[in-house]
Chains A and B, each alone.
Chain A
């Protein structure tokens, strides 16, 4: 069964450092997402990406965050200057573009745990 793969599974970084989280979505999917879960809190939406551009972003997704799909397969989330409060599990997800969009399930990766010291 097709999978969404994420690397690294765990990254520890110092405050102020740049971090890149990588994702390989399912090849025929058209919509790509990043979500995160801070320990003990809800899973929260960060950004969605479609047709090589951001289609929607949350208030959390400020100027220190960016996404790109550099080679048509990888989908990356960059955090330019990490803060302590960026410590969380970051999930990549993708879905097809067919049918009623709200009814398309998301396929999630296993997450990248980011710890900022």
Chain B
């Protein structure tokens, strides 16, 4: 059974705080790691797909790093805003159809 874990499960920060969360995944047979952002009542939306060890990707105030040798990825949010409140999911593709195995998600709440 493939194990993709995320921590923390939930996080409550103040507006303007910077924060980060972790995704850990199997380091063998690595193809890629996906990050999705899922706001309540909306579709999960792709943030990043990371494929290379040492990869760093950035989208506005959100960035992610990847360490395939030790099997973890960090997602960083700089200067959190209320609109960043969402569940952040990481996912690991496997199999012929590249199905995604998801982590438990980190639920972020940003308050004023």
Contacts and interface: CB of A to CB of B under 8 A. Distances in A.
Interface size class of A (residues with CB under 8 A): 20 to 34
Contact of B102 (A44, A55, A95, A109): A44
B99 A45 contact: yes
B31 A45 contact: no
Contacts of B13: none
Interface in B83-112: 89, 91, 93-105
B97 A48 contact: yes
A43 B102 contact: yes
Interface string A73-107: 00000000000000000010001000011111111
B32 A107 contact: no
Nearest to A37: B102
Given A43-B89, A110-B41, A105 B96 contact: no
A91 B44 contact: yes
A103 B43 contact: no
A48 B99 contact: yes
B62 interface: no
Interface of A: 3-4, 31, 33, 35, 42-45, 48, 50, 55-56, 58, 91, 95, 100-111
14 contacts: A42-B103, A43-B91, A43-B102, A44-B102, A95-B98, A100-B51, A101-B97, A103-B51, A103-B93, A104-B98, A106-B46, A106-B100, A107-B43, A110-B42
Given A43-B102, A91-B44, A106-B100, 7 more contacts: A42-B104, A45-B100, A45-B101, A101-B93, A103-B31, A106-B46, A108-B36
